[in-house]
Structure 1
Amino acid sequence: MRILIQKDGNLMPESTDLDAVRSALEDPEVLVWVDLYHDAPDKSRQVLSEVFNFHPLSIDDALEEIHVPKIDDWGDYLYLSLVAVRANQPLDDITKSIELDVFLGSNFIVTYHQESYPAVDVVWTRLLRNESHQQNSKFILYQIIDELANEYMKMVNRLDARVVEIEGVLIQKPDKELLEEVFSIKRSLLNLRRIVVPQSVVLNKLSLGDFEIVEQKERMYFRDVYDHLIRVHEVIEILREFVNSVLDIYLSVVNNQLNNTIKILTIITTLVMLFSFLNEFFGMNIFTHGAQISQWVSTISVALFLIVLAFLLVIILLRMRRRDWM
């Protein structure tokens, strides 16, 4: 657990003093940010219930349940469930997302997460450096969600670059392993879409003024992030269509290779059929015994047979080439 308290534009040193949090919450002009990170659930429950007096159901949502992005209005505070993806994680492993639970009040924000959350760390450092032109609980939430949107876009760009690379390879040489990777990327895009769409719904609610705790001047920031998420969603949909086109390319290349293979086998079969016909004709037992048979197996007859056979093979090959079968 780590605590930041800001009063009159000045930040107090980071601490874990809950008594200082209780005192600060009584002053509406003081900003309090409590980040519950790697704390035991029992300790986090104690902080949420005894220090902030949150409703038990909202506490259970944060500590015990896993959600898609959502937002609940509890009167004097909002509960939000947000989901992040690590921009450097494997492209076929986006299902392993990170949940962030947020309790948002007029002068406080409480974040709860069991894993490292880059967006929270970035905004926390930014607040320590006093890099923002204004600070309140809603603006901190806006910055966190904006960082999440940036991480989504980074992941989408990585997926886009990999799909373009795979497309170039598949055109030259279809590979089953690359095909499996394409399917993995397609699943990753679907999982990413399942994260981005509900999160954009949350941002839309925050920007439309559905909650009294969010003032009119603060809604424009959430509208900005909402537009950002909409763009991410549009890029995801475009990339999903691109992946489908890559799969079509793979199937086309494989079908072309199959057609070429069938064409070669057809040519071989045609030539073999000619040999088989002549061999069966001369090998049939339709002649009588005696000198008559010797006429067919004489040197001249065999030579004529080979000449005729070679001539027919050349004619067949030339005709196939003229028809562009070879």
Structure 2
Amino acid sequence: MRDYNSELSKKTGMPPGTLIHVGDKRVEEPKLTLVEYNGDNLEVHVSQDIDIIKDLEFAEDRKIWINVDGLHQTELIESLGKLFGVHPIVLEDILNTNQRPKTESYEDYIYVTIRTLFYERLENTVNSDQISIILGNNFILSFQEMETDLFKKIRQRMERPAGIIRKRGVDYLTYSLIDSIVDNYYLLLEDIGEEIERLEDELINEPSPATLQNIHELKREMIILRRSLWPLRETIASLQRDESGLIKESTDIYLRDLYDHSIQVIETVETYREMLSGMLDLYLSTVSNRMNEVMKVLTIIATIFIPLTFIAGIYGMNFEYMPELKWEWGYPAVMIFMATMAVIMLYYFKKKTWL
């Protein structure tokens, strides 16, 4: 994940509500997607100009969903905020892409910010994008850092006239958007789980310094992942407790199910963190055991050669009067004795299961 510390310095000394984009430029030009719908009709308009929204007359019996891909043009975000009466503080939070997941209730709308996460297997990192959602009386505004396929299936479901999204209010569409983000977490955790299994196999079969580095990198990403997901539970709970009337009672049951999913995601993250911590201990134990095996073999070899070296040292002292030096069978006798001693020691070590 990217570091925002240097980017936050842009806002130093600025008054509250100052609109400055904090984050990366993810798209060349922002794209607006306007969806007007009810039970009978569905109209989709795509443009890079906010005039497409200003020129439309919104019918009271139709619901509106405006999605913005790309946040670096602050003028566009400011114009949308004025058009729908969004407070500058909220617009400032939308442009500051370092927000933690949260839900804030205002007089006429609810502001929700949540993070979508993607696992880059080749780089062994987790990338994060901020998604902001504003739920009004008859409209939804959603803001993404870049264009993704995250809401593609929701748009496909909206094309069916008999679909539940077309029949229900914008609060149900808000639930659907958040549910799509949470479902994406399962895909992320599945990819991370496969990587953890691969590291476990590598750790048991042939651990290396690269294995340790991969474990450390993944453990660091899990810490950042936990920080992004831990507030998710309270974010959804705040939607359940909202008393503004924008969340209908019929949507509460879906939010409860979404709350359960958020708990499952958080528990899975905690499980993976514990597994990675255990893998670090396993790596150290494996390396220590391998070192012990090497040292055991070297110690046995050295122990066998100690008496052999002692015997060779005795007959290498070059004294003139040593009886065995003049003996015809002295050399083969000494060699046989040394070999026999080595065999006896090997048998003893094996019997003691030291070998």
Place the TM-score, normalised by the shorter chain, in its bin.
0.7 to 0.9
Residue 117 of structure 1: which of 148, 161, 169 is its match? 148
Q: What aligned pairs does 1:116-195 form with structure 2 within 5 A after superposition?
A: 116-130=147-161, 132-133=163-164, 134-195=167-228
Is 1:206–2:210 an aligned residue pair? no
Residue 79 of structure 2 corresponds to: 47
Query: Contact 1:2 / 1:34 at 8 angstroms: preserved in 2?
Result: yes
- In 2, Cα distance between equivalents of 1:173 and 1:65: 41
Structure 1: stretches of 5+ with no match in the other structure: none
Given the two structures, how large is their TM-score scaled by the length of structure 1?
0.87
Provide the C-alpha distance between the structure 2 equivalents of 1:323 and 1:147, rounded to a whole number of angstroms: 62
Name the structure 1 match of 2:347.
318
Secondary structure at 2:98's aligned position in 1? coil
Q: Quick check: 1:31–1:107 contact (8 Å CA) kept in 2?
A: yes
Q: CA deviation at 1:38?
A: 3.1
TM-score with structure 2 setting the length: 0.81
Code of the residue aligned with 2:222 in structure 1: it is L
Going from structure 1 to structure 2, the CA distance change for 1:192 and 1:65 (only over 3 Å counts) comes to closer
1:24 aligned residue: 58
Query: 3-state SS of the aligned residue for 1:150?
Result: helix
> Counterpart of 1:98?
129
For each residue in 1:178-201, what CA deviation from the matched residue of structure 2 results, as whole angstroms up to 9, or x when unmatched?
Answer: 332233332333222222211221
How big is the shift at 1:173?
Answer: 1.9
Which residue identity is paired with 1:259?
A: N
Indicate whether 1:309 and 2:342 are aligned: no
State the match for 1:235 in structure 2.
Answer: 268
Q: Give yes or no for contact 1:70–1:82 (8 Å, CA) kept in 2.
A: yes
Pair 1:53–1:209, CA change in 2 (3 A): closer
Q: Would you say the 8 A contact 1:87–1:151 is kept in 2?
A: no
The answer on 1:36 being equivalent to 2:72 is no
CA contact (8 A) 2:182 2:262 kept: yes
1:89–1:68: structure 2 CA closer, same or farther, 3 Å change rule? farther
Distance 1:91 1:68, change over 3 A: farther
State the Cα deviation string for residues 260-310 of structure 1 (Å, max 9, x = none). Answer: 11110011111221222122223336x4x5xx2475354333333222212
Identity of aligned residues (%): 24
1:218-297 alignment runs, 5 A limit? 218-284=251-317, 287=319, 289=320, 292-293=321-322, 295-296=324-325
Q: How many residues align?
A: 318
Secondary structure of the 1:115 match is coil
The 1-side partners of 2:98 and 2:75 are apart by 19
Distance 1:124 1:279, change over 3 A: same
Structure 1 contact 139–218 (Cα < 8 Å) conserved:
yes
Query: What amino acid sits opposite 2:220 in the alignment?
Result: R
Cα displacement string for residues 97-137 of structure 1 (whole angstroms, at most 9, x for unaligned residues): 01111111121101112212332333233223446313322
By how many angstroms is 1:77 displaced? Answer: 0.8
Match of 1:299 in 2: 328
How far, CA to CA, are the matches of 2:326 and 2:281 in structure 1? 57
Alignment partners' CA distance in 1, 2:74 and 2:350: 81
* Match among 22, 34, 37 for residue 6 of structure 1: 37
8 Å contact kept, 2:64–2:140: yes
TM-aligned CA deviation for residue 53 of structure 1: 1.9
Q: CA deviation at 1:149?
A: 1.1
| Paired residues of 1:41 and 1:63 also in contact (CA < 8 A) | no
Shift of 1:15: 5.3
> Which one is further off, 114-123 or 83-92?
83-92
Any idea what SS the aligned residue of 1:299 has? coil
Q: Show the counterpart of 1:76.
A: 108
C-alpha distance in 2 between matches for 1:211 and 1:90: 45
Larger helix percent: 1
Which protein is bigger by CA-based radius of gyration? 1
My pick for the range that moved more, 211-220 or 156-165, is 211-220
